[in-house]
Amino acid sequence: MRTMSRMCAYALVALVAGFPLVGSALDVNHFDIAPGEKHFVLVYGSDNLGRGTGQVDLFLSYAPTAYEGFSGLAWTDFSKNQFVLSLGAAYGLTDRIQIGAVVPYLLSQDSDVAGVSSSGLGDIHLEGKFHFFGGKDDWGSALVAFANLDTGEEDALMSDDANGFGALFIVDRNWCNHTYLAFNLGYVFEDDDQNLPLPNPVNIQGSWLAGIGYSYGFASGRTRLGVEVKARSSNGFFNHERTTPVELIGWAGLKVSEQTSVTFGAGAGLNEGYGAPDFRLFAGLKAGF
């Protein structure tokens, strides 16, 4: 009886102080930009950059409520007012092979949980993309092989505290080089188990990845509109809501020079999956070279 009383007292102190009673080694930033993409923001198309050409992408994302987790006795805002800056770059080695990287950095965030850092580097993403086929008025296909390096700040909720390796298969349709519809499906394996802070903690060691994107370019060639849905399933194949964040974004892109465009958009989580924000605003710059 005395032991039970002590356990209840410790749990109450932890709740009041804001300490999570489970591990919080999670990357709750799900705004993962696709480097080198001209027609999408988060989703990949089959097109590659040409041989000897490249692109730099810089995006700023803001989420009022980025992640709500279970702190032991109640649901708590682990991350809110989250500002993340993502720097991406891609380069065409050949007409079929492209390499890329993304470096995310948490500029600031608030938290109702003690011990969560307000800023920090995220896990660096490295990738190679191989274009199989595709072009104007045709179906296309490509494969992205990638590695997520364990470089992120765990206390800032910007790292899974594990290296990740995976692949993403891409199928898309091109209509007259101005309208694109893309489908992505892949898997990432992590070399260390992680626990999601839920009422019944879930142990994960990999995730399914999926995305759908549609973008339309106006006849002027200066304006493009897009809608994308991106999902990540960390407990089976998309069969548990809390472990499967799904986010919808919409955006508008404006070409400001021959190789430079700016993008403005908004998004929202479609379910209660971890890291799916209630609302998101973002802006970005894409510059070719």
**143 has pLDDT over 70:** yes
Phi and psi, residue 137, nearest 5°:
55, 40
Q: Residue 267's pLDDT band (boundaries 50, 70, 90)? A: very high
Q: Is 87 exposed, middle or buried (0-12, 13-18, 19+ CB in 10 A)?
A: middle
Confidence (pLDDT) at 12: 38
| Domains within the chain, CATH numbers bracketed | 29-288 (2.40.160.40)
- Comparing 76-90, 124-138, 178-192, 238-252, the range with the smallest average pLDDT is 238-252
Q: Which residues pair with 214 in a beta bridge?
A: 181, 227
More confident residue, 61 or 238: 61
Residues in the chain: 289
More confident residue, 86 or 271: 86
Give residue for tokens 């990738």.
127
**194 has pLDDT over 90:** no
What separation in angstroms does the CA of 3 have from each of 6, 7, 9?
5, 6, 10
Amino acid at 68: E
DSSP 12: H
Give residue for tokens 């091109």.
174
Confidence (pLDDT) at 48: 96
**24 has pLDDT over 60:** no
**173 has pLDDT over 80:** yes
Q: Residue 19's pLDDT band (boundaries 50, 70, 90)? A: very low
Quick one: average pLDDT of 4-19?
40
Confidence (pLDDT) at 77: 83
- Comparing 112-116, 136-140, 149-153, 226-230, the range with the smallest average pLDDT is 112-116
